[in-house]
């Protein structure tokens, strides 16, 4: 943390002394919300919910982010210690969570490793889900080996021009490819419990952006041609234009049914079978994609 290079931004700032990098947070852990989350992919939420912990800050900070108020810095929240975070995990397990779902965890990876270890010593025995943007350092992911059971990762852009335009990164596709390879290396083929809940594996999400079907097609093609049925793919139509994109012409509208159907038809033509899709209107409550 004294020269933070946890993510590929390599800001090299001293977060221990309240220097902020792109993620917008110091070294202390700041949580926006902890809850039983009912609307992740069916094999994550199931009937009893995923134990979601939403962290403040994000190394990617996409302009269209659906959790913009959380991802772009910290609110007036009290920092929690690794011990307190471990207790949150235990409380979620006691509430019946299928797993502990770490939402935007990248910049707190080292503290999370400590907290997971403490929680396991207290009896935590449900899977750990690392729910991230896909813009991950392989070195940091290697530190997570043995602590994470399920990687629920985005793959946003195959077109790096879009990465520059919307997330201010020039190398998203290369970084995401390398990160995904490490995730698959760690957890291998998907495994499920008898009730259909994922026990371990990788799910790759792609959020279809309006006007950018071709980018999503390229993402799906790469994932399937590289990994086949070794990973599950989640094809999302939940994009919602929020206030911060009202002046960006191509982003200030929802995805059309025609755009989404074109992408689904393309996925079928590739032969993709292990996939989740979204049908109908997305849920209106914040944080809730309806699969």
| pLDDT tens-digit readout, 159-190 | 999 999 999 999 999 999 999 999 999 999 99
Give the pLDDT confidence score for residue 291 in this predicted structure.
35
- What is the pTM assigned to this prediction? 0.95
| Of 230, 242, 237, 243, the residue nearest 200 (C-alpha) | 230
Angle at 148 between CA 147 and CA 149, to 5 degrees: 125
Residue 134 in contact with residue 179, Cβ under 8 Å?
yes
- Among 208, 201, 226, which Cα is nearest to 264's? 208
Q: What pLDDT does 280 receive?
A: 67
**Count of Cβ atoms closer than 10 Å to residue 273 Cβ:** 12
- Check whether 281 has a pLDDT greater than 70: no
What values do phi and psi take at 277, rounded to 5? -125, 165
Q: Which long-range contacts (CB under 8 A, 24 or more apart) does 155-161 make?
A: 155/180, 155/204, 155/205, 155/206, 155/219, 155/222, 155/223, 156/62, 156/206, 156/207, 156/219, 157/215, 157/219, 158/215, 158/218, 158/219, 158/222, 159/212, 159/214, 159/215, 159/218
| Local confidence band at 290 (pLDDT 50, 70, 90 cut-offs) | very low
Residue 14: predicted pLDDT: 96
How much is the average pLDDT of 103-114? 97
How many angstroms separate the CA atoms of 233 and 276, rounded?
Answer: 6
* Listed residue (115, 57, 63) closest to 91, CA to CA: 115
Please, which pLDDT band fits residue 71 given cuts at 50, 70 and 90?
A: confident
Calculate the dihedral angle through the C-alpha atoms of 71, 73, 74, 80, rounding to the nearest 10 degrees.
70
Task: Report the pLDDT averaged over residues 36-47.
Answer: 95
* Average model confidence (pLDDT) across the chain: 94
Which of the pair, 280 or 266, is modelled with greater confidence?
266
Please give the residue that has the higher pLDDT: either 288 or 157: 157
58, 32 Cβ separation under 8 angstroms: no
The predicted structure's pLDDT at residue 82: 97
Average pLDDT over residues 65-74: 83
pLDDT of the residue at 282: 56
How far out from the chain centre does Cα 62 lie? 13
- By percentage, how much of the chain surpasses pLDDT 70? 95
Count of residues in the chain: 291
pLDDT, position 287: 45
Two tokens at 237? Answer: 């139509």
Q: Please give the Cα distance from 199 to 191 (Å, whole number).
A: 5
User: What DSSP state is assigned to residue 256?
Assistant: P
């Amino acid at each position: 943390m004294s020269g933070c290079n946890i993510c590929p931004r390599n800001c090299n700032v001293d977060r221990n002394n309240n220097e902020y990098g792109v993620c917008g947070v110091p070294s202390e852990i700041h949580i926006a919300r902890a809850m039983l989350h009912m609307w992740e992919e069916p094999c994550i939420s199931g009937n009893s919910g995923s134990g979601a912990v939403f962290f403040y800050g994000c190394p990617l900070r996409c302009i269209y982010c659906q959790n913009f108020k959380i991802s772009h810095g910290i609110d007036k929240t009290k920092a929690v210690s690794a011990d307190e975070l471990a207790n949150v995990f235990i409380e979620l397990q006691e509430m019946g969570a299928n797993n502990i779902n770490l939402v935007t965890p990248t910049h707190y990876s080292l503290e999370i490793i400590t907290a997971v270890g403490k929680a396991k010593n207290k009896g935590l025995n449900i899977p750990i889900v690392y729910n991230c943007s896909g813009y991950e350092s392989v070195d940091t992911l290697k530190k997570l080996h043995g602590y994470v059971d399920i990687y629920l990762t985005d793959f946003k852009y195959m077109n790096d021009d879009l990465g520059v335009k919307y997330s201010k990164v020039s190398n998203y596709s290369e970084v995401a490819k390398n990160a995904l390879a490490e995730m698959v290396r760690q957890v291998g083929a998907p495994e499920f419990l008898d009730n259909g809940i994922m026990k371990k594996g990788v799910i790759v999400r792609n959020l279809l952006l309006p006007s950018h079907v071709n980018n999503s097609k390229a993402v799906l093609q790469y994932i399937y041609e590289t990994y086949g049925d070794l990973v599950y793919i989640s094809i999302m139509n939940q994009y919602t234009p929020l206030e911060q994109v009202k002046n960006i012409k191509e982003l200030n509208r929802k995805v059309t049914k025609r755009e989404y159907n074109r992408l689904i038809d393309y996925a079928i033509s590739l032969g993709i079978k292990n996939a989740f899709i979204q049908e109908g209107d997305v849920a209106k409550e914040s944080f809730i994609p309806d699969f």
